[in-house]
Structure 1
């Protein structure tokens, strides 16, 4: 009963939510981007905001579902579009090319993430002092890069994301807490990657934590 009560209360809270969602067109430099906004209209006043970054297939149903869930919990959630309006790869080859392009161009990756953050901050419902970024797979790496850029955020969370960076010294710019959630059997993130992140964060004095799930593979969420 002690376990069921909070579950029932959470279900009841979410059931009463008046979810508002919309597609948001915005820009980074001259590139048109297409984000997704979700929040609960029944909540009054400002609230924390969360920037959600998509996987390697681009902004799709999965991160929209995550944004909706966060909105029901009382956050303003905005899904950033890293690839650009209409760029939604459908094959693994196309996904790999898109993700690889941005992973090899970290300044552009950071700029696209920053554009999403700026768009989230434009929303008057958002408390600018309570902002976090989360990302899944490719998006987890983007979340870490946004933190390394020195963005004024309170937290960055990577779910089974890429951990490597060509700019490890940029960890000194991190102003937020960092949480890395990693699958112990992820074939795409090596032990060397984990050790390098450990050294990077420790050297920079970042307030960070890593949780390794034994037996979990890539994309465990």
Structure 2
């Protein structure tokens, strides 16, 4: 009897669901464009972007919204010490969806990607020990990027992660023609021997618990940038350690025993701050 009562209670609900399903099948909804202001969202596509300098070829990754026919400001994305991997490319894709033309640069040449921390350390150290050559690679990328029809002539900016964060800080310190340099858990090693004036925006997003970034070096870099005229902001995120923006940090920490870790709050906060800075620097907002 109880089972029969349950079935009778459910019967009206089942009949209503069947009626709704029938209406969906026989009368599919049509969007009236005269009543709804429907627009096309971004269609982000990435492509190989090669440039050469010093007899070497570099394989960057260019991301842009192909639905947007208006030239847009360009942002360089400088990879971690691993090389130009999927993480750097995903950040370029995000920037492209938000209205920028993003180039994830290749700092090692031929698109090389390290598979072990020892190899990554060797690659990154070689670049940082020869800043003139590193700058030449960046300048080659920027020159070719500026010629792309999708890029506006309103200036460029650069963001970087870990090793790449150190690169963008040194870009600003050497007075390269960028409007903003934004570092995420970047190494503050000063590779520039002769700092030059720089009046753009510099943001340094750092994990407060990061043992790989020495506080003295970070303070020294911030002071050096400020002395050259930069608008410097350093943000230390409580509980965050190295690699806090990358979902792959936890996996690398476990595999190699490195002091890495993803931190969702620090990732979200630093990304929002970076976007606001890019908007101010490149869109004059």
TM range (shorter): 0.7 to 0.9
Secondary structure of the corresponding residue to residue 173 of structure 1: coil
Flag the structure with more relative contact order, 1 or 2, with Cα contacts below 8 A and sequence separation at least 6. 1
**Alpha-carbon offset, residue 216 of structure 1:** 0.8
The answer to whether residue 84 in structure 2 is matched with residue 59 in structure 1 is yes
Q: TM-score if structure 1 supplies the norm length? A: 0.88
- Mapping of 1:90-169 within 5 angstroms? 90-167=115-192, 169=194
How many corresponding residue pairs? 207
CA distance in 2, matches of 1:26, 1:199: 34
Please list every run of at least 4 consecutive aligned residues from structure 1 whose deviation after the TM superposition is greater than 4 angstroms: none
Name the one with the larger strand percent. Answer: 1
Residue aligning to 1:43: 68
Q: Which runs of 5+ in 2 are unaligned?
A: 1-37, 246-285
Q: Decide which structure has the larger Cα Rg and report it.
A: 2
The answer to whether residue 236 in structure 2 is matched with residue 212 in structure 1 is yes
Residue aligning to 1:178: 202
CA distance in 1, matches of 2:236, 2:207: 6
Secondary structure of the corresponding residue to residue 114 of structure 2: coil
CA-atom RMSD, angstroms?
1.7
Residue aligning to 1:188: 212
Q: Which runs of 5+ in 1 are unaligned?
A: 1-12
**Alpha-carbon offset, residue 173 of structure 1:** 2.5
Residue aligning to 2:224: 200
Residue aligning to 1:23: 48
1:50–1:86 CA distance, 2 compared to 1 (3 A):
closer
**Alpha-carbon offset, residue 72 of structure 1:** 0.7
